[in-house]
Structure formats: structure tokens, C-alpha cells
Amino acid sequence: MPGSCASVSLLYRGMGSGFRPGSCGDEKAAVGWLSYTSATIFGAGCPNSVPHNSERAVMSAPLAGIRVCDVTQNLAGPFCSQILADLGATVFKVEPPGGDLGRAWGPPFWGSDSTLFLSANRAKKSIVLDLKQQDGRDVLSRLATSCDVFVQASRPGVAARLGMDYDSIRALREDVIYLSVSAYGQDGPMSDQPGYDPLMQAYTGMMALTGHADTPPTRVGGSVVDYGTGMWAAIAILAALRTRETTGKGAELETALMDTSLAWVSYHMMGYLATGEAPARAGSSLGAIAPYRAFQTSDGHVMIAAGNDAIFGRLCETLGLGPLLDDPRFSSNRDRVLNRTALDELVEDRTSRLPTSELLDLTRRHAVPASAIQSIPEVVEDAQVAASGMLLPTHHPEVPEYRDVSLPLRVDGVRPRGEGAPPAAGEHSRAVLSELGYEAAEVERLLASDAVGQSTRSG
């Protein structure tokens, strides 16, 4: 690795999996949603070096010793298992012949794989299995028997045909934590339909709420439904593992893309239930608070969030709008929302006269929450993002300056992070077969039969 991209490798106690430290900024969750986009920017060249703690630290990986069999593709399921890998679990990524379909979701590509794929698959062991062959299903059964957690995302009926439905896996291991990721859920008239992130945004009203009133419905820029579903899935698995510690019993878990998308628009739905009024697209503003949107400056835009009366008072002081504090139209947030148009015009009349940098300097000095609207290249180069430790380098055999987006949390001041770049499809097939107890001759037979595939980058 180049000196400017050097990293400090930290070992989980008793494992040999690694993580890297970094301080934690308030922007960490937003950076997580943008992970595959940031990976795209990194591919254009190594950004500024990322500061990190100079001292080595060692912590117990919370999921050390937990084994996960992940038979999912695309984003939601893989992001779930990446979270578990970052927390110390050993994750076996089971891929079909040709590999996870998400590998081809590009351009952009970085090395051989799409940046979408790279954003959700670090620190895993990949084995390629043809589950249409009995030998492939037999290997999956042996792998599942050895694992605490089984994650799959097949449509109803498909999992049963492949022998990886809950009853089949539980017959192999009674205390298994079994999680299904689906599009619309296991029940209802849409349960047999496929689903992708933008379909769920469309189906649940999220796209109808995104954009401006005079523009078409708009997809949210990050894959918030996929990543959110992966996050809920990981939370469910952690809860089930905790329960198993005390009861000895496994669990059948389920999460769905539709459910996640509904959760993201929950207050909009509740607002409609309370008032009977359908929420509308409002650009950068929020219907319940004012002033609370992006305002034009002389050279761009700044997002201002005057979330309460005190902040509104400081904003008026910042912009020389003191008389507004005595204006009954703006005396409370409720009044400001009802008179939003007039208020926004008054605020923007002042912000539009100032350069972005000068306005941000004023808002910071007066403790008014505000932010420039940054592009992804600006985010990658941002000093606060660098200080957060979210964007860190790791060794990748095809990409010398590889970086990706870390898990957006810290444990005892250290950011958990699984060791290893996303694997090639079948990179670990031979090693996994050996670990499962297959004799050398049987390993060769399985590889020759194409029931098990391996990469030229095999380990």
C-alpha cells in the first residue's frame, strides 16, 4: 500500500480477524448509505490520507466463534452478513455459478467487481455451489450444519425446492438462527413477486415524497431500502443469538424490503392517518418544521435546520432578521409552518447575498445547524469524514489503493472491522471443503464436476 494510504491492522482477540480504529462523527450513518458511491470515487485515485489512531488496540469480537452461512445476493442480505463479519463472525458467502449477480451491477467497477458489490461483501469466505446439483446441495447441507446462522433470500417455494427452507435447515441443526429476506413478505397477494430497492421506494410512497412539487417522483440517491433491510436483519439475528444464549433455542426470522421502506416513511403515514391529508413532495424541506430546507447562496446552496424556537432566534440574529422575532406569523414553529412561504422568502433574500463559505462561518458562530450541500468527491476529501475513520484502506489483490466504508459504530472507542477485501467468487471453495471434512480426492471430484466452483484467485 502507498504510504499515504497506510493502515493500522488491529486483531480481534483470539481470532486473527482485524479491524481498524477511527473517531466517530455525526455523519457516520449518512456515509454508510453512500458507501458504494464513495468506493466509485476512490477508484478514480487515492484520496487524502485517512488519519487513524497510532496505538494498537485489541478488543474481543462480540461475535467471535459465530458462523454464518449466507446464501443471499445483491445488497440487503450481503450487507447484513457484512455487519456480522465486522462484528467478528465467520461468514461463508455461498454464490451461484458465475457469482453473486451484484458483481456485475456496473459500471462503475473497481477491479473485477462493481462498487455496489464491494460495498457489502468484505471479510467473507466465498464458495460457489450449484444448488441444482445434488452434490452442491449436499455441500450446502454440511456447511449449514456447521453454522449458527443461516441467511437466505429466495422467493417462497424456491428455498424448499433447493432444500434450504427453515424446516430443512432446522432438521440439520435444531438451534439454528434462520433468517429470510424477502421483497414483500411471506404473506399477502404480492408475496411471490420479486423486488428491488427502487420498486419498494415506489410501492411504499417514498418516491412520491421525494423531489420537488413540480418534478416527477424521484428515487432516493442511496439504496436506503436495501441497506436498511440488511441492518434490520442483523439486529434480528443479534437479538436471536442473545435469546439462544439463555434458552438454547434457535429462531425463524424474517425481514422484507417493503417493511423497511414503510418504516422509513412512518411519520408521513402517521400524519396522513391523523389528518387525512396526503403529504406531498417538498424538495429539501420538511413539512413539520420551518425554516428547514436548502437556501440559495450567492454561489450555491446551504441546508439550514432551525429545529426549535431558540435556533430560529439565533438564525434571525445571524441574518440580521431580528424584527421577525416579534412578527406573530413566526412566533412558534406551528406559525412558521403555516407561513412557510413568506418566511422562506425572507430568509433566502438574506442568504442569497452571501457566499456559501461566509454563510457557514456565520451559522457556526451563532450555533445554527447548517451544512453545505456537498458532492461525493467533496465528501471523500472532507476533513470531518477523514477524521471519522469511516473511509479506510485495506489490502485488495487487484486494487492497490482500495478503500471502503466502515461499520458506522464504535465499541470502546474502536471501530469493528472485518479483515479482508471482498472475495472473488469461489476464492475459498477448496479451503471451505477441506474445513468441512472432505478428503482431498472428494474435493477434486467436486471441483471437477462443477457442483463446486472456484476462482483463479482461490485461497
Q: Which three three-digit cell numbers place residue 144?
A: 449449514
Q: How far is CA 77 from CA 84, 190, 207, 254, 390, in A?
A: 11, 20, 23, 11, 21
**Which residues, 6 or more positions from 335, have their beta carbon under 8 angstroms from its beta carbon?**
328, 329
Per the document, the length of the chain is: 459
CA-nearest of 158, 83, 131, 104 to 416 is: 83
From the list 126, 136, 41, the residue with the least C-alpha distance to 85 is 126
Beta bridge partners of 253: 179
Rounded Cα gap, residues 175 and 67, in angstroms: 13
Set 70, 86, 226, 382: catalytic member: 226
Half-sphere exposure of 126 (CA within 13 A, CB side): 29
Q: Is 226 a catalytic residue?
A: yes
Q: Which residues are catalytic?
A: 226
